[in-house]
With several copies, the nearest count.
Chain A
Amino acid sequence: MVHVKITEEVITAAALASRVRSDADGAIVSFEGVVRDNNAGKGVSYLEYEAYAEMAEREMAIIGSEAMREYGATNVAIVHRVGRMEIGEVSIAIAVAAPHRREAFAACAYTIDAVKERVPVWKKEQYADGGQWLGSQAEDKGNPALAVLSAEC
């Protein structure tokens, strides 16, 4: 079973743990991504997250299925919060159950890695002196065809 959700409500991994466990599971591994007070040393006041909700839920469901099929998880739950979040608030919570701990750790680590790589969610860091979308400084890696196109405009 995969449970996914994009929500504006407060989230916790605790609320997911009971959802994922079955009687054959011996291990539950949870991940919470939390708003930090700095990024590479620069002070952060708060964050704003935005999502393409429908697609994000679809992608998270695919990732959860992969975690089950490829890493042996029994069940996976992934919830991502959107909107404004203060320091210490949880932006993403993941819980994974599996018969044994190695599978649960591997599946949970895979899940957060895959979410960060391809789920359409964006984070804007707010500083004392302004804000910035993260990822906007990412190295080019995308669509060369678009670069050509835009050069024509």
Chain B
Amino acid sequence: MPTKIEPTTDTITIRLLHFAMNREMLGCAEERMTLPAGSAAADAWAQLVARAPKLAKGSRSQMVAINSRYATLDQPLQDGDELAFIPPVSGG
């Protein structure tokens, strides 16, 4: 398990949303996560995979959304951001 990081001015807290197979593997639809300031989506994903290793299989097919917009893995997160990993979509 990753070390729990206490909120300080050097940390950010984000809202994470989980959907579809991700939600089922993680066992929840929504959570808060505290990360070191300057963290990106990739850092949050690493924490999720550490907790639910089955997620790793889908790593290469996830898209990233920050505040309801497609984003890149390396975009720095801001405190209060809403982050979601988007497994392959199948709407329509």
Contacts and interface: CB of A to CB of B under 8 A. Distances in A.
**Touch between A and B in complex, CB under 8 Å?**
yes
Interface string A86-113: 0000011000000000000000000010
How large, as a class, is the contact surface on chain B?
Answer: 35 or more
A42 interface: no
A109 B17 CA distance: 31
Interface stretch (B6-14, B31-39, B68-76): B68-76
A34 to B, nearest CB: 11
Given A52-B84, A55-B69, A135 B89 contact: yes
A95 B4 CA distance: 50
How large, as a class, is the contact surface on chain A?
Answer: 35 or more
A150 B88 CA distance: 17
B91 A123 contact: yes
Interface in B40-79: 42, 45-46, 49-50, 53, 55-56, 58-65, 68-70, 73-74
B28 interface: no
A115 interface: yes
B90 interface: yes
* Chain B interface SS verdict (over half): mixed
* Chain A interface SS verdict (over half): mixed
B61 A140 contact: yes
A54 B55 CA distance: 24
Contacts of B89: 116-122, 135
Contact of A142 (B19, B63, B69, B90): B63
B91 A145 contact: no
A122 B87 contact: yes
Contact of B73 (A136, A140, A145): A145
A65 B45 CA distance: 32
Interface of A: 33, 49-52, 54-56, 58, 80, 91-92, 112, 115-124, 133-136, 138-147, 149-153
Give me the 8 closest cross-chain CB pairs, A-B, nearest first: A121-B91, A135-B88, A122-B20, A134-B90, A135-B90, A55-B68, A150-B59, A138-B88
25 contacts: A52-B86, A54-B68, A112-B92, A116-B92, A118-B70, A120-B19, A120-B65, A121-B92, A122-B19, A133-B21, A135-B90, A136-B87, A136-B88, A140-B60, A140-B61, A142-B60, A143-B59, A143-B63, A146-B60, A149-B42, A149-B49, A150-B49, A153-B46, A153-B49, A153-B50
